[in-house]
């Protein structure tokens, strides 16, 4: 698989060193007995954070902390919270946008049910890092209403083949005085 964020070495590193409030969940997507796709999800327990930015003990801070801890403390992220870009899922085969949407919604329900069986009630579900074209497809196939938040695109640095060392990289900088 070309996407480094779905390779075994990356997933193993993520599993070994996650933030203290994060649990990774992995999804295998099968057609009959053939693996056709994979997905990643992450459960964040905001209650494990030691602070929500307590600067003072005013009523506003007390209310904010109550809301975070009791109404928004359990977050399910469909995708990888640790990186940007479309790293939520990967299919080995071409499937229609209708099938893709159904699969995503199905495994979201399954993950929520799994967490519920562990005594975890999810307060917020977020689907992370979809490209605009995919977002429009998802909206047409069952993601209504979908609240969108736009952020920066991937920050990809293509390395020229001529860069064989750190010095080659530094030498490529231009100086402006």
DSSP string across 143-159: --S------------PP
Q: Where are the beta strands (DSSP E) in 74-168?
A: 74-78, 89-91, 124-127
Residue 176 has pLDDT above 80, yes or no: no
Least confident of 11-25, 69-83, 102-116: 69-83
pTM above 0.85, yes or no: no
Determine contact, residues 77/41, Cβ cutoff 8 Å.
yes
Determine contact, residues 87/79, Cβ cutoff 8 Å.
yes
Phi-psi region of 5 (alpha: psi -120 to 50; beta: other; left: phi over 0): alpha
129-148 tens-digit pLDDT: 776 677 777 777 777 666 66
> In whole angstroms, what is the distance from residue 2 CA to residue 154 CA?
16
Per DSSP, 28 falls in state E
> In whole angstroms, what is the distance from residue 105 CA to residue 50 CA?
32
Determine contact, residues 131/97, Cβ cutoff 8 Å.
no
Give the per-residue pLDDT at 84: 79
Mean pLDDT to the nearest integer, 20-34: 93
53-66 tens-digit pLDDT: 556 667 777 776 77
């Amino acid at each position: 698989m070309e996407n480094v964020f779905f390779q075994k070495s990356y997933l193993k590193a993520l599993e070994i060193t996650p933030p203290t409030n994060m649990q990774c969940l992995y999804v295998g997507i099968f057609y009959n007995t053939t693996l056709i796709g994979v997905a990643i999800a992450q459960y964040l327990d905001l209650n494990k954070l030691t602070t929500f930015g307590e600067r003072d003990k005013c009523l506003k801070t007390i209310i904010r902390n109550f809301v975070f801890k009791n109404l928004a403390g359990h977050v399910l992220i469909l995708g990888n919270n640790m990186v940007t870009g479309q790293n939520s899922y990967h299919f080995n085969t071409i499937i229609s946008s209708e099938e893709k949407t159904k699969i995503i919604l199905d495994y979201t329900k399954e993950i929520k049910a799994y967490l519920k069986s562990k005594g975890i009630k999810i307060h917020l579900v977020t689907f992370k890092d979809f490209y605009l074209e995919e977002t429009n497809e998802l909206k047409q196939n069952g993601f209504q209403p979908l609240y969108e938040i736009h952020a920066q695109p991937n920050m990809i640095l293509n390395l020229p083949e001529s860069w064989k060392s750190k010095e080659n990289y530094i030498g490529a900088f231009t100086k402006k005085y």
